[in-house]
Structure 1
Amino acid sequence: MMMFVAALQIQDLEDEDSQWGGSSKGRSYTARNREIMDQRLKTLYFTDPCKYEPNIFRRRYRMQPWVFDRIMSDVANYDPYFVQRRDATGRVGLSNEQKLTCAMRQLTYVVTADFFDDYIDIAKSTAIEILEHFTIAIWNVYHEHYLRRPTPADLRRLLDKAVERGFPGMIGSLDCSLNDINVLGQSPLFNDVSCSETPHVSYEVQNRHYGQCYYLVDGIYPKWAGFVQAIKNPRTLQTKHFTRMQEAYRKDVERAFGIFQARWAIIRGPARGWSTENLQFIMMTCIILHNMIVEDEHDEDACS
């Protein structure tokens, strides 16, 4: 009887310990050479000189080295998770270069989290954790700047481009395959158009004055003043020309989204089990990083 009671007490203690984590039966320890893999990674991309030239870095990381360095510094200042530390045994943890490389490769390539076990000795669970921390950090650090509304200078540039293409007052185009009506109904863009709060401009078409911007859309969108649709079944040369040019300009948004998907392969395929919140952070991170790259390369073009 006493042995039976003692056995129950031991079982209770084991159950209590299991609530606080610790080792689990059946789990094995995998030795990882993260220091060696870190040195190898830095030799390839981050030392001076390194094995690969900046153009190779740009292709594989989707951005120039200086943009990557800026992001690495900013996310480390925001989230201590990205500050390299030592564990309880005094061993150095993963470096920032390893963590950000892990996050960026998940965003840019169609690879599973298991891939990083072979590539830079990062376990699957750690790779997923890194991506979660990275996307949250990118959102909190950059969203106010890179997801802001267009400035007057941005708007002027858009209007000038539209005039060159024969559409004065046009500030964008929408496509139903990429902008579902139900999604658009919840967006600030929809509110702006329905409330006639689009930016005010001044232009003339056939001696008639107009003072409101508009978007080019296809026939599925409502017939509002802020939406200009192609002419259904055009008959005259003028209406045929207008419809052809309108449809050609609308193709720009499809091409832009095609470039976006090519750069960030993670958004091309099905979701891999993350929560809805994590999926939102992933998409917003891709958009923010895309805007950062466009801004950097636009500045380069302006200086050249």
Structure 2
Amino acid sequence: MSHKVFNRIRDDLCNYDRYFIQKSDVMKKVGLLLEQKMASSLRMLAYGATADQCAEYCRMAKSTSIECLQRFTRGIIALYSEEYLRALTLVDLKRLLAKGEKRGLPRMIGSIDCMHWQWKNCPTAWAGEYSGRKKILTIIIEAIASYDTWIWHAFFGMPGACNDLNVLAKSPLFDELTAGRAPKIQFQVNNKVHKLGYYLVDRIYPRWATFVKTIPNPTRPKEITFAKAQEGYQKDVERCFDILQASFGIVRGATHGWDKEDL
């Protein structure tokens, strides 16, 4: 992280939550520096370090490291969600549609898929619900990613025993569409007019007008070309998951949290 970004977050957090300001206790003993609290949180997020591992490096107790991480993540969401975690706007939609047309898939919005995050400290009473087909306790995140690895839709919290269809049934992805507030998109293919944009998905998803799947066992040249393009561009979301796990070690390994809301 650059010094400029670090200093910006530091100043914003101080103004947002006084917990990060260095204070003295009743015995006039000076408390932890803001930089210590931020370093502990960033190490846990970026490297997947546990609270115990931060104790020696940052000179902080385990309980303090956990509290710092919770307050840090909540502060980041409160401060920057409006800009960086926003939903798709009309300007964003036009940009994605233009890029999809250049790639040979007109009116393609993005790629959708799900990722499982292992939950090490899942309560025993919930083990059956969160145990997937690999007998590992996981929580599912559904995401839509664009060509530039921007996740503009994320739905997190479904238990690992569910599949992509179960997650889709609970997802708020099409709430705006069913309410009639989604932007109008119209295009023509093979002399047929379509009024919905579409997402690239794998074979488990249903045969909806807004989903485009690959052609199984293509034989003709056109089918082979389409399947190659669809399968290649559908990897955008999988590539985004890989980048997310490479950048944040806390997502790459099993999470040690106890509360699903904190996760």
TM-score for the superposition, normalised by structure 2: 0.76
Q: CA deviation at 1:182?
A: 2.2
Q: Report the secondary structure of 1:188's partner residue.
A: coil
Structure ranking higher in strand proportion = 2
- Counterpart position of 1:235: 219
- Counterpart position of 1:142: 80
- Counterpart position of 1:95: 33
| d(CA) in 2 for partners of 1:202, 1:194 | 17
1:85 corresponds, among 18, 23, 42, to 23
Matches within 5 A, 1:1-20: none
Identical columns (%)? 47
Matches within 5 A, 1:16-95: 58=1, 64-95=2-33
Matches within 5 A, 1:193-272: 198-272=182-256
TM-score for the superposition, normalised by structure 1: 0.66
* Unmatched tracts of structure 2, length 5 or more: 116-140, 143-163
Instruction: State the Cα RMSD in Å.
Output: 2.0
Structure ranking higher in helix proportion = 1
CA contact (8 A) 1:169 1:201 kept: yes
- Structure showing greater relative contact order (alpha-carbon pairs closer than 8 Å, 6 or more residues apart): 2
Q: Report the secondary structure of 1:114's partner residue.
A: helix
Alignment partner of 1:111 is 2:95: no
CA contact (8 A) 1:200 1:211 kept: yes
1:130 corresponds, among 68, 73, 77, to 68
Change (3 A) 1:114 1:242: same
Q: CA deviation at 1:210?
A: 3.1
- Counterpart position of 1:187: 171
Q: CA deviation at 1:176?
A: 4.9
AA matched with 1:229: K
AA matched with 1:143: S
| d(CA) in 1 for partners of 2:14, 2:170 | 34
Q: Rg: which structure is higher?
A: 1
Q: CA deviation at 1:194?
A: 5.8
Range that drifts further, 227-236 or 103-112: 227-236
Alignment partner of 1:278 is 2:258: no
Q: Report the secondary structure of 1:175's partner residue.
A: strand
| d(CA) in 1 for partners of 2:23, 2:257 | 29
